[in-house]
Every structure is written in structure tokens, then in C-alpha cells.
Amino acid sequence: MAESGRAGMRVDLRQETDGAVPDLAGRTAYRIVQEALTNARKHAPGAEVTVALTGAPGLGLTVEVAS
């Protein structure tokens, strides 16, 4: 997200996770968000993007990216 901010994109992060995110899930979520932000920069330049992460142990992790 820092790269997107340096590129002038406005990104609002909303994180509501209980406890630590397991390494594999964290890396996967990072890659999903990275690709979504790249797509937003390409297809909706100047749009504000909201990234929401929610989840808890036993309930999974949800990643939502919207503009």
C-alpha cells in the first residue's frame, strides 16, 4: 500500500482481525491486495480505494478491495 500512496493513490485501510494472521494467509492476502491496487491504479486512476481485512482464528480471513 505504501507504493500506491507514493503513486498518489488514496488508500483507506480498515483492519478488524482478531489475533495474528498465519504467515501463508498473510502472504496470500498481501498479494491479493497488491494486485487489486495495481488494477485500481490502471483502471480507475484517481479513485479512492478502501481495503478491508476482517477475520478471526477459526473463522478465516476476508479481504475486500473497493473503489
pLDDT by residue (tens digit) across 9-62? Answer: 899 999 999 988 999 999 999 999 999 999 999 998 889 999 999 999 989 999
pTM reported for the whole predicted model: 0.81
User: Which of the two residues, 7 and 38, has the higher pLDDT score?
Assistant: 38
Per the structure, the complete domain to which residue 37 belongs is given by: 2-66
**Domains in the chain: how many in total?**
1
Q: Which residues contact 42 (CB under 8 A, 6 or more apart)?
A: none
Sheet holding 49-56, edge to edge: 11-17, 49-56, 60-66
